[in-house]
Amino acid sequence: MHHTATKNSDVAREAALSLVIIGMGPRGASLMERIAARPGSVADVHMVDDHAPGAGRIWRTDQDRDMCMNTLAGAVTLFTDASFSGVGPVVEGPSFHEWCQLVAEFADGERADVAAARRSYFEAGADVSAVLADRGFRAEVRRTGPGSHPSRALYGFYCDWVLRTSLRRLGPAVHVTRHTTRATAIRAAGPRRTLVELADGTTLAADAVALAPGWLPSEPGPADRALAAATTGRDVSWVLPESPIHQDLTGIRAGEDVIVRGLGMGFFDSLSMLTIGRGGRFDEAPGNRLRYIASGEEPVVHVGSRRGLPFLAKSVYQGLPPAATLRRVRAAEARGLSTPLRFADEVWPHLVRDANEAFYTTLARRLPLDLAAIGAAIDADDLATLPERVRPLLPEGVNPFDLQALLTHRIAPCSTQEYQRIIRDAVGVDLDEADAGLASPLKAALWEVNGARRWSIERAAFDGSDTEGYDGDLAEFLGFGGMIGSGPPAFRARQLLALIDAGLVRFIGPGVQVGLDGRVFTAHSPIVAGSGVTARVLLDAWVRLHDARHTTDPLLQQLMADKLAEPFGRRNAAGGRTPGPGLRIDEVSSELIGPGGRHGIHLLGVPSDVARGDTIIAPMPGTDPTMLRELDACVEAMLPGGGRATGQAIGRHAAQRALTA
């Protein structure tokens, strides 16, 4: 076992609590920051991860720099600020963008415009020599602005720096041991006492465990299980769903056809690895477009998905995006919402009107509009006729905004030639809207809709929604919100257009169906005539949704088998609970609750998202992020004298339910 101990002092101290943190990616680093923020902490802390702590598996610092973040540099932090509502101390460290500014300043000697408190934290923190030692990273920190999409490797360096700085700030009574291995089991050993078994044979006695495993692997669905069985013994290659940097694409041959499933961020990453990653390059072309110069090593990608539409590009704001106002939605909340939440009846009508207001307010900056008359039309009772009520109030040739049509948009039956044109035109139009930034009425409206995602899932968390509501209209809305708000940076959409024009990307269609015919995979869309394609390789450019009921993660399987964990169930119409893909946790401390009770095991991050909501998204400065409140409450519950957070539920949904009960 690689075993490194960090000891701040050999002073005599009281018997310390033994804490085990399993998973030392960004959440593990942030947990250590929350411990360091409490200078009187007394604990033996064991960090368990077989990847580099801080960056972890996903943000590792040695990955290809063409793999970029889907988040803006100025919209990510691992530190609390004035917006923080947790019980722990506020310690203002630099956001990712501010850290890049400070690293660049350190290299160039030019003072960056960063708040004094965060500058002071940086100057007292760990060194940044690993970043400055690489010419490429030095150049990247210099050009990174708040609206940049930096490389994932650079973010990994930020996470590493946060962890190392937090370790330096620990009080003398906190001892830290790193275990470069995996946890294989967590066993109950008495009240509030557990034993953590590691793959190297070590067993750690723990008073509390923080489990931050990231995205959980899940079993394939019935269709993919049948497909897998059919491929046995066949000379085909199936690249299974995974984070793109962990997929082996080396077996994909130059010039061959490849069937790809998925049109989200994973697709754009895989496309980059199969083009730029193989020696191709993009040159500037007229009209703010690109031209692809092939290396000859690229395959031909045939891609389809459930919707058949690529995720929309993020707008180019030259900075941080504006905050969604949600004026009518918040007013409805102030008047009182029901529990369980009825999204279609209580939220959607107000959100449609808020999005319309954002659209026409933005449009009025370049066209003469009677906003008072349009506002009256927006607030009239019949939502179904809203576009037609507004149409007479618009200049000739300007179409009204229709959010409902966007939500329910389906591709009409067409030929494969027509479909290629439809998608190429759609990507081009969306890219023009993204390039318009704050001047785009469409993007302003969609940003308002996207802003309702966090608001909605916070209020639907735990018993804020029932099975029918969560799996119905809310699920449809969240899927739509992902397509309009979790898409690629605009430059990725620009690259996609160039690859379409180069003949290296073709679209199969919506509702793509994949099978096996002899020695090749087949794919077609029932909507698109002539869309059939065959290929030796099937690439899944997506990650299976985490589902505790079907997870293949051995640690989670063991916890459920030993009754230390169980699926989280929402209330159903029959008065019982329907088990879902999440795990049951305490609403405050995130402690796992199983048939065997509680044992001081706290589940954090991605696997808690179904129950708590908003735990996947990285913390954004100034927004009182769920992730930081979740981690802070966990630390508060684990440390000696903790538990002060008891009864203070994480998330505004709890306070709202108290007001409306």
Domain co-membership, 213 together with 231: no
Domain co-membership, 150 together with 61: yes
Alpha-carbon distance 251 to 273, whole Å? 13
Residue 66 lies in a domain: yes
Alpha-carbon distance 391 to 399, whole Å? 7
**Residue-level pLDDT at 518:** 86
Residue 154 lies in a domain: yes
Q: Is the peptide bond before 26 cis (omega within 30 degrees of 0)?
A: no
β-strands 203-206, 194-198: how paired? Answer: antiparallel
Q: Is the pLDDT of residue 654 over 60?
A: no
Residue 476 lies in a domain: yes
Structure tokens at 217: 């692997």
CATH at residue 98: 3.50.50.60
CATH at residue 531: 3.50.50
Chain segment 368-382, per-residue pLDDT in tens: 999 999 999 999 988
Q: Is the pLDDT of residue 657 over 50?
A: no
**Residue-level pLDDT at 653:** 39
Given a contact cutoff of 8 angstroms between Cβ atoms, the answer to whether 616 and 426 are in contact is no
CB within 8 Å of 659: residues ≥ 6 apart: 336
Q: Is the pLDDT of residue 63 over 60?
A: yes
Structure tokens at 492: 């990725």
Q: What is the largest CA-CA distance in the chain?
A: 81
**Residue-level pLDDT at 209:** 98
- Crossing angle of the two packed helices 348-363 and 371-378, in degrees rounded to 10: 170
Alpha-carbon distance 621 to 97, whole Å? 11
Domain co-membership, 262 together with 334: no
Query: H helices of 413-523, where?
Result: 416-436, 441-460, 467-470, 473-485, 490-501
Alpha-carbon distance 634 to 643, whole Å? 9
Q: How many CB atoms lie within 10 A of CB 167?
A: 23
Note the pTM of the prediction, 2 decimals: 0.93
Residue 300 lies in a domain: yes
Closest by CA to 149, choosing from 44, 67, 223, 84, is 67
Residue 306 lies in a domain: yes
Q: How many CB atoms lie within 10 A of CB 11?
A: 7
Domain co-membership, 536 together with 565: no
Tell me what the mean pLDDT of segment 140-169 comes to: 97
SS3 call for 169: helix
Structure tokens at 265: 């961020």
Q: Is the pLDDT of residue 546 over 90?
A: no
Residue 140 falls in which region: left (phi positive, over 0), alpha (psi -120 to 50) or beta: alpha
Residue that terminates a domain, selected from 496, 519, 540: 540
CB within 8 Å of 448: residues ≥ 6 apart: 324, 325, 326, 351, 354, 355, 357, 358
**Better-predicted residue by pLDDT, 294 or 479:** 294
Per-position b or e across 30-57, b if 16+ CB within 10 A of its CB = bbbbbbbbbeebbbbbbbbbbbbbbbbb
Q: Is the pLDDT of residue 212 over 80?
A: yes
Tell me what the mean pLDDT of segment 92-98 comes to: 97
Return the percentage of the chain with pLDDT > 90, whole number.
84
**Residue-level pLDDT at 122:** 96
The structural domain count of the chain equals 3
CB within 8 Å of 203: residues ≥ 6 apart: 195, 196, 197
Given a contact cutoff of 8 angstroms between Cβ atoms, the answer to whether 627 and 612 are in contact is no
Burial of 177 (0-12, 13-18, 19+ CB in 10 A): middle
| pLDDT-based confidence at residue 640 (cuts at 50, 70, 90) | confident
Domain co-membership, 296 together with 378: no
Chain segment 96-154, per-residue pLDDT in tens: 999 999 999 998 888 888 999 999 999 999 999 999 999 999 999 999 999 999 999 99
SS3 call for 334: helix
**Residue-level pLDDT at 641:** 60
Alpha-carbon distance 661 to 657, whole Å? 6
Q: Is the pLDDT of residue 14 over 70?
A: no
The whole-chain average pLDDT of the chain stands at 92
Residue corresponding to tokens 């607030």? 379
Domain co-membership, 380 together with 424: yes
Name the residue type at position 259: I
Domain co-membership, 626 together with 595: yes
**Residue-level pLDDT at 484:** 92
Residue 1 lies in a domain: no
Range of the domain at 394: 327-485
| pLDDT-based confidence at residue 15 (cuts at 50, 70, 90) | low
295: Cα separation from own chain's centroid: 33
Residue 355 lies in a domain: yes
Tell me what the mean pLDDT of segment 349-375 comes to: 97
Structure tokens at 13: 């101290």
CB within 8 Å of 144: residues ≥ 6 apart: 73, 97, 100, 101, 104, 150, 154
CA-based end-to-end distance of the chain: 53
CB within 8 Å of 125: residues ≥ 6 apart: 93, 161, 164, 165, 168
| pLDDT-based confidence at residue 6 (cuts at 50, 70, 90) | very low
Chain segment 440-492, per-residue pLDDT in tens: 999 999 999 999 999 999 999 999 999 999 999 999 999 999 999 999 999 99
**Residue-level pLDDT at 588:** 96
Domain co-membership, 465 together with 400: yes
Structure tokens at 136: 């490429």
Given a contact cutoff of 8 angstroms between Cβ atoms, the answer to whether 128 and 158 are in contact is no
Residue 304 lies in a domain: yes
| pLDDT-based confidence at residue 205 (cuts at 50, 70, 90) | very high
Tell me what the mean pLDDT of segment 277-298 comes to: 96
CB within 8 Å of 556: residues ≥ 6 apart: 213, 216, 548, 565, 583, 607
Alpha-carbon distance 541 to 305, whole Å? 10
Instruction: Taking the CA atoms of 351, 353, 354 and 359 in sequence, report the sign of the dihedral they define.
Output: positive
**Residue-level pLDDT at 29:** 97
Q: Is the pLDDT of residue 10 over 80?
A: no
**Residue-level pLDDT at 9:** 39
**Residue-level pLDDT at 321:** 86
Domain co-membership, 283 together with 336: no
Burial of 176 (0-12, 13-18, 19+ CB in 10 A): buried
Alpha-carbon distance 613 to 267, whole Å? 25
Lowest-confidence region among 2-6, 149-153, 565-569? 2-6
Q: Is the pLDDT of residue 633 over 60?
A: yes
Domain co-membership, 342 together with 207: no
Return the percentage of the chain with pLDDT > 70, whole number.
95
| pLDDT-based confidence at residue 342 (cuts at 50, 70, 90) | very high
**Residue-level pLDDT at 650:** 55
- How many residues are present in the chain? 661
**Residue-level pLDDT at 464:** 94
Domain co-membership, 235 together with 161: no
Q: Is the pLDDT of residue 265 over 80?
A: yes
Q: Is the pLDDT of residue 413 over 80?
A: yes
Domain co-membership, 395 together with 523: no
Tell me what the mean pLDDT of segment 172-186 comes to: 97
